[in-house]
Amino acid sequence: MKVIRWLIGRIILFFDFIFSPSKPKRSAQEQADLDKATEHLSLYQLAACPFCVKVRRAMKRQGLNIELRNIHQQSNLDELVAEGGKRKVPCLKIENDNGDATWLYESNDIIAYLNKNFS
């Protein structure tokens, strides 16, 4: 089963590479403003997870530079479970101004949030 998952993951990554969406054309100042607006976001993910690929493609279509945190790294996994409550990806961590964090776990919810706030 592990070999099958590994193979399917590589196929997903291959097609994601081949059919990668293009970033929108923006001025350097517009991109800097967008980067500033998204600096409080982090996406916990796995490289070959199809739902994570879906979210990363949506981010690329919008030209969003959001920090990616791979949960294969133990510290990222520990933070996700301890603070977010679940070992589930993709998960978008939204750090609020008051120091609290909101955790979005569903790919469609994450994409809807990004479309609403950064389109």
7-48: per-residue pLDDT in tens? Answer: 999 999 999 999 999 999 999 999 999 999 999 999 999 999
* pLDDT for 119 beyond 90: no
- CA distances, 69 to each of 4, 6, 31, 76, 77 (Å): 24, 20, 21, 6, 9
Where are the domains positioned within the chain? 37-119
What pLDDT, on a 0 to 100 scale, did the predictor assign at position 93?
97
Residue matched to tokens 């750090």: 95
Express each pLDDT in 62-79 by its tens digit: 999 999 999 999 999 999
Fold of 37-119: Glutaredoxin (3.40.30)
Q: What is the predicted pLDDT for the residue at 99?
A: 84
Residue 1 has a pLDDT of 84
Nearest-angstrom CA–CA distance, 59 and 54: 9
Quick one: pLDDT at residue 2? 87
pLDDT for res 101: 94
Query: What pLDDT was estimated at residue 81?
Result: 96
Q: Are 89 and 51 in contact (CB under 8 A)?
A: yes
Whole-prediction pTM? 0.91
